């Protein structure tokens, strides 16, 4: 039997060689341009672009290390065109680093690995020039504090127009008109007049609108918004989320919303990825996640939120705190705080296991504590 198997294998070597060569050729091509590979040589530029857009974002095994410590570890998720994915978790779990890694803006000496397949290309292998183009034309980012991205010495109109002429090679007059259009698109009153105002002349909510207008200048396919409403008051936050919802519907852009606020998530997201200590521990459609969380951390987070519709004498709190990247517990990183932890939980990192319709959770309780192989 063994001899027979070996014989078959030996005779199959030439075939295997050819197959693996072809596979290698495809793999080598894929990160470069998956779309042109899929479309074939006869595809027109238009068809190719449409295919590219359909591929959306597919992140695989994304890892960010500072020296020996991973602050983002083996993170995978996909975002379809027009979809809103929320990345949630408590502070320090790696949300912002994930966002920065997607556009390769992680500060030195951080190192990124894995794959960020966006519209058919792996952004992690692009040249710096091409990457700048992607950042300007296809992916835009907004942050919690817009003042860090706005230049205080130039008018808002000047800054939006500059973004436009840089990306779209527009004339100065056309850029100014487009800048006014963008400001009214984000519902800034008297947009044309406000073009000549400086950033400090705007309130926090209005500055965030200006940031969104600048981000939209290039008509991005993907908007990454890192805590965009965290510094804003409740009524202004509601206005900004409504604005993002409207823009997403009108412009068809995908959004990655990074937030620690589960309320904002339930209000806006289609899908959710919950992060804990650098890893994704649960991913699910938003409604399903809130209705029935599958990971004990998600469950604990939801239970510890004070509610507006019911009164509880005590909140179900999670004991302890999030471990820093340099003091991670062995096995499941949530184990020291988990009410369901058992000995096998410390044996190894639980992988993301299927946990129902389009959802997964990194918890071996799902398999009755069968240790991951």
Partner 1 sequence: MTSILSVRGLTKHFRGRAGLFREPPPPVRAVDGIDLDVPEGGTLGLVGESGCGKSTTGRLVLRLIEADHGSILFAGEDVRAADAARLRALRRRMQIVFQDPFGSLDPRMTVREILEEPFLIHRIGDAAERGRRVRRLLDAVGLAAHHAARHPHQFSGGQRQRIGLARALALDPALIVADEPVSALDVSVQAQVLNLMKDLQRERRLSMLFISHNLAVVRHMADEVAVMYLGVVVEQAPRETLFAAPLHPYTRALLSAVPDPGGEKRARVVLRGEIPSPSAPPSGCRFRTRCPLAEPRCAETVPALRAVAPGHRVACHLA
42 binds, among ligand ADP, Mg ion, partner 1, none (CB under 5 to 8 A by kind): none
Pairing state between β 111-118 and 57-66: antiparallel
Which one, 52 or 279, has the nearer CB to ligand ADP?
A: 279
Interface with ligand SF4 (CB under 6 A): 296, 332, 334-335, 338, 340-341, 345, 350, 363-365
- The CB-of-183 to ligand SF4 minimum distance in angstroms stands at 28
- Distances in whole angstroms, Cα of residue 21 to Cα of each of 29, 167, 172: 12, 40, 52
| Binding residues among 69-108 for Mg ion as defined by CB under 5 A | 96
Q: What does the alpha-carbon distance between residue 209 and residue 216 come to, in Å, rounded to a whole number?
A: 10
Residue 92 touching ligand ADP (CB under 6 A): yes
Which one, 19 or 305, has the nearer CB to partner 1?
A: 305
Retrieve residue 234's tokens.
Answer: 């409740």
Closest CA to 241 of 252, 255, 222, 251: 255
298 binds, among partner 1, ligand ADP, Mg ion, none (CB under 5 to 8 A by kind): none
Residue 203 touching partner 1 (CB under 8 A): yes
Retrieve residue 90's tokens.
Answer: 């408590």
Which one, 143 or 334, has the nearer CB to ligand SF4?
A: 334
334 binds, among Mg ion, ligand SF4, ligand ADP, none (CB under 5 to 8 A by kind): ligand SF4
Which positions from 282 to 321 touch partner 1 by CB under 8 A, shown as an x/- string? --------xx--------xxx-xxxxxx-xxxxxxxxx-x
Which positions from 75 to 114 touch partner 1 by CB under 8 A, shown as an x/- string? ---------------xx-----------------------
- Residue 292, SS3? coil
Retrieve residue 228's tokens.
Answer: 């965009």
- Using CB atoms within 10 Å of the CB of residue 187, give its burial: 0 to 12 exposed, 13 to 18 middle, 19+ buried: middle
Which one, 61 or 263, has the nearer CB to partner 1?
A: 263
359 binds, among ligand SF4, ligand ADP, Mg ion, none (CB under 5 to 8 A by kind): none
Q: What does the alpha-carbon distance between residue 120 and residue 322 come to, in Å, rounded to a whole number?
A: 36
Closest CA to 212 of 154, 273, 278, 257: 257
SS (H, E, C) 43-63: CCHHHHHHHHHHHCEEEEEEE
Q: What does the alpha-carbon distance between residue 203 and residue 216 come to, in Å, rounded to a whole number?
A: 20
Residues making contact with Mg ion (CB under 5 A): 96
Residues making contact with partner 1 (CB under 8 A): 90-91, 203, 205-206, 233-239, 242, 260, 262-267, 290-291, 300-302, 304-309, 311-319, 321-322
Residues making contact with ligand ADP (CB under 6 A): 66, 71, 89, 91-97, 107, 324-325
């Amino acid at each position: 039997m063994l001899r027979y198997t070996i014989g078959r294998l030996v005779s199959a070597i030439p075939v295997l060689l050819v197959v693996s060569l072809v596979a290698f050729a495809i793999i080598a091509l894929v990160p470069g341009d998956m779309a042109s590979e899929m479309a074939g040589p006869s595809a027109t530029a238009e068809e190719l672009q449409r295919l590219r857009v359909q591929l959306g974002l597919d992140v695989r095994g994304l890892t960010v290390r500072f020296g020996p410590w991973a602050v983002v570890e083996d993170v995978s998720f996909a975002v379809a065109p027009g979809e809103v994915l929320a990345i949630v978790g408590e502070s320090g779990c790696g949300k912002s680093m994930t966002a920065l890694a997607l556009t390769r803006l992680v500060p030195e000496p951080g190192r990124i690995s894995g794959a960020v397949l966006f519209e058919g290309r792996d952004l992690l292998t692009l040249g710096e020039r091409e990457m700048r183009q992607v950042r300007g034309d296809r992916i835009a980012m907004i942050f919690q504090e817009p003042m860090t991205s706005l230049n205080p010495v130039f008018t808002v109109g000047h800054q939006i127009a500059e973004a436009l002429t840089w990306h779209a090679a527009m004339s100065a007059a056309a850029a100014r008109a487009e800048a006014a259009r963008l400001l009214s698109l984000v519902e800034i009153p008297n947009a044309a007049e406000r073009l000549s105002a400086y950033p400090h002349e705007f309130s926090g909510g209005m500055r965030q609108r200006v940031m969104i207008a600048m981000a939209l200048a290039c008509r991005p396919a993907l908007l990454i918004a890192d805590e965009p409403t965290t510094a804003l008051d409740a009524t202004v936050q509601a206005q900004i989320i409504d604005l993002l919802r409207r823009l997403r519907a009108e412009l068809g852009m995908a959004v990655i919303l990074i937030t620690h606020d589960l309320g904002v998530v339930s209000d806006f997201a289609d899908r959710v990825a919950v992060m804990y200590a650098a890893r994704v521990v649960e991913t699910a459609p938003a409604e399903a996640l809130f209705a029935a969380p599958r990971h004990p951390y998600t469950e604990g987070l939801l239970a510890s939120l004070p509610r507006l519709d019911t009164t509880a004498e005590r909140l179900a709190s999670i004991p302890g705190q999030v471990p820093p990247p340099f003091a991670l517990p062995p096995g499941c990183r949530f184990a020291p705080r988990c009410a369901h932890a058992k000995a096998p939980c410390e044996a190894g990192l639980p992988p993301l296991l299927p946990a129902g319709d389009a959802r997964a959770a990194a918890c071996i309780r799902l398999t009755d504590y069968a240790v991951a192989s």
